[in-house]
Chains A and B, each alone.
Chain A
Amino acid sequence: MKRTLSYLYLALLLVMLYAPIVIIAIFSFTESKVLGNWTGFSTELYASLFSGGVNNSLIDAIKNTFIIAFTAATVSTLLGTVAAIGIHDLRYGKRRAVNFVNNIPILNPDIITGISLFLLFISLGITQGYLTVILAHITFCTPYVVLSVMPRLTQMNPNIYEAALDLGATPMQAMRHVILPEIRPGMISGFILAFTLSIDDFAVTIFTNGTDGLETLSTYIYADARKGGLTPELRALSTIILVVVLILLIVVNYRSHRQSQRAEEANGQLNIK
């Protein structure tokens, strides 16, 4: 009884969380301009999304979003990895100071990050556009890369690096063949995190994209919604994003589940012996 009630409660919460998304997904299969108005089943929105039937500004916004996310994530990963290696080697006091500043963009609300960078760019007289948006995204993405690479360095046995040097490797070789392989998983998860943060950002972008009409998906949706309605094709796009993320999560989850199962089996066998 208690069990059923528990599940019922979770189910209710999930219904609440998913109801809006499900409505978007359902109405992505009808052509109606207004959300909530069913005018018969059709895949027209998907077709027009891929055939370029939508206005160019949406396609541009999608392109911009990905270009910015890719550039920002790549630069953040490089900058953050190099920084993490350096910070790891700093003495305690300095390391704490740098880590403290590194946490600021993570704790700051987006709107503050956005406005502070906006003030920076106008003070320096930099015209706002692609460059400023990318710089702003690097600013709030890099701390996450540092945070995902750092544990890998901390967990690493420092003797391995010393051993490589003793065996005649140059510092660069030791870096490439010893440290890099160890921290690669952290770099990859840092990159993915940076990429998703960048794609999802709205508040920082809106303050740094200038007045030349540079739009990302978020700012496009915002402008669109203020005009009074969502471009119907966005329903199709949102549904696609949802399905892709769902599949990715299931795959990742299934893999880690399998791995932990295998580890458990291995442990079990050891225990029997």
Chain B
Amino acid sequence: MLDNITKFFSRRRSWSLPYVLFLAVFVVMPLVLIMVYAFQGNDGGFSLENFRRFVTQAEAANTFIYSIGIALITTIICLVLGYPAAYILTRIRPSTATLLVMLFILPMWINVLVRTLATVALFDFLSLPLGEGALIFGMVYNFLPFMIYPIYNTLQKMDPSLIEAAEDLGATPRQVFLRVVFPLSTPGIVSGIMMVFMPTISTFAIAELLTMNNIKLFGTTIQENINNGMWHYGAALSLIMLIIIGITSLFSDSSEDGANDGGLI
């Protein structure tokens, strides 16, 4: 018996077993539970009641659409602001660039809530009203580094001889950028969009703090339902969010190799 156990663990592939069990209990089972709860009525039987409620009740559905809108706006602003920044960073002296990239990433080490409260303080300080504007500013402020970093990474890994070749063949700077640089940086852009869109769609506390509780995002709705003991409905809303995330990640799958290169970790 003991011999068998020793033998079992001396094979290295058996070492994956504890983690496989761990994943089964703490990753797979919880996700299955979300599905189970989502399709359960309050009496415990199978029911589509939760989804019916989502579609018929204007509040949750409106919040859902509004959240997607905010996430899209945030992502677009981050892309428009972040792409030029990433591009400039690859064109300046490498040592300066490293320092500047570090400066762009540094704020991410500060707790998201502290950063958000700091944004609130900034708006107070400048006597600007809290609300939608503050919400979008706060989101952009929180997630801009996630856009700059992957784009910078792909741009930096780009083979400079491709640009030189285009120049040698008579392309204008504008053509070089539009026909060579930009298409080659798509993996970074896709990765950046994912890394901004997915967290913005799922945030909850940030919106609360930035709008003095006036604007509710989908994440907040989910959290409120769970907190109020509406587990089945909360699970159904979580499942809807999971589906959105799933659809978003399908887009990035087509360029998976590049996205992995450009990823933050």
Task: Say if the beta carbon of A246 comes within 8 Å of chain B.
Answer: yes
Task: Say if the beta carbon of B161 comes within 8 Å of chain A.
Answer: no
In contact, B26 and A98 (Cβ under 8 angstroms):
no
Q: Which residue of A19, A135, A242, A253 contacts B99 across the interface (Cβ within 8 Å)? A: A253
Closest chain A residue, CB of each to CB of B212: A228
Task: Say if the beta carbon of B30 comes within 8 Å of chain A.
Answer: yes
Task: Say if the beta carbon of B65 comes within 8 Å of chain A.
Answer: no
In contact, B26 and A117 (Cβ under 8 angstroms):
yes
Q: Which residues of the partner chain A approach B141 to less than 8 Å between Cβ atoms?
A: 16-17, 20
Task: Say if the beta carbon of B92 comes within 8 Å of chain A.
Answer: yes
Q: Which residues of the partner chain A approach B234 to less than 8 Å between Cβ atoms?
A: 115
In contact, B27 and A101 (Cβ under 8 angstroms):
yes
Q: Which A residues, 153 to 205, have Cβ-Cβ distances below 8 Å to chain B?
A: 171-172, 193, 196, 199-200, 202-203
Task: Say if the beta carbon of B265 comes within 8 Å of chain A.
Answer: yes
The interface-forming segment of A6-14, A42-50, A52-60, A66-74 is: A6-14
Given that A14-B103, A119-B33, A253-B98 are known contacts, is A221 also in contact with B144, CB under 8 Å in the complex? no
Given that A6-B91, A116-B33, A234-B114 are known contacts, is A108 also in contact with B12, CB under 8 Å in the complex? no
* Smallest CB separation, B195 vs chain A (Å): 11
Task: Say if the beta carbon of A217 comes within 8 Å of chain B.
Answer: yes
In contact, B19 and A200 (Cβ under 8 angstroms):
no
Q: Which residue of A142, A172, A203, A249 contacts B106 across the interface (Cβ within 8 Å)? A: A249
Contact with B along A105-122 (1 / 0, CB 8 A): 101111111011111101
In contact, A203 and B204 (Cβ under 8 angstroms):
yes
In contact, B109 and A98 (Cβ under 8 angstroms):
no
Contact with B along A228-262 (1 / 0, CB 8 A): 00100010001001100110011001000100000
In contact, A221 and B113 (Cβ under 8 angstroms):
yes
In contact, A110 and B12 (Cβ under 8 angstroms):
no
Q: Which residue of B111, B204, B226 contacts A200 across the interface (Cβ within 8 Å)? A: B111
Task: Say if the beta carbon of B121 comes within 8 Å of chain A.
Answer: yes
Some 18 contacts from A to B, beta carbons below 8 A apart, are: A7-B88, A10-B100, A13-B85, A14-B103, A17-B107, A17-B145, A35-B121, A80-B19, A83-B19, A86-B14, A86-B15, A91-B13, A115-B238, A221-B114, A238-B114, A245-B110, A249-B102, A249-B106
Besides the contacts A13-B85, A123-B33, what 15 more A-B pairs have beta carbons closer than 8 Å? A17-B107, A36-B125, A89-B13, A98-B23, A108-B245, A109-B241, A112-B34, A112-B202, A116-B34, A138-B26, A142-B22, A147-B265, A203-B205, A218-B112, A230-B117
Interface residue ranges, A against B (CB under 8 Å): 6-7, 9-10, 13-14, 16-21, 23-24, 27, 35-36, 79-80, 82-83, 85-91, 98, 101-102, 104-105, 107-113, 115-120, 122-123, 135-136, 138-139, 142, 144, 146-147, 171-172, 193, 196, 199-200, 202-203, 206-207, 217-218, 221-222, 225-226, 230, 234, 238, 241-242, 245-246, 249-250, 253, 257
Interface residue ranges, B against A (CB under 8 Å): 10-20, 22-23, 25-31, 33-34, 37, 81, 84-85, 88-89, 91-92, 95, 98-100, 102-104, 106-107, 109-115, 117-119, 121-122, 124-125, 141, 144-145, 198-199, 201-202, 204-205, 208-209, 219, 222-223, 226, 231, 234-235, 238, 241-242, 245, 249, 265
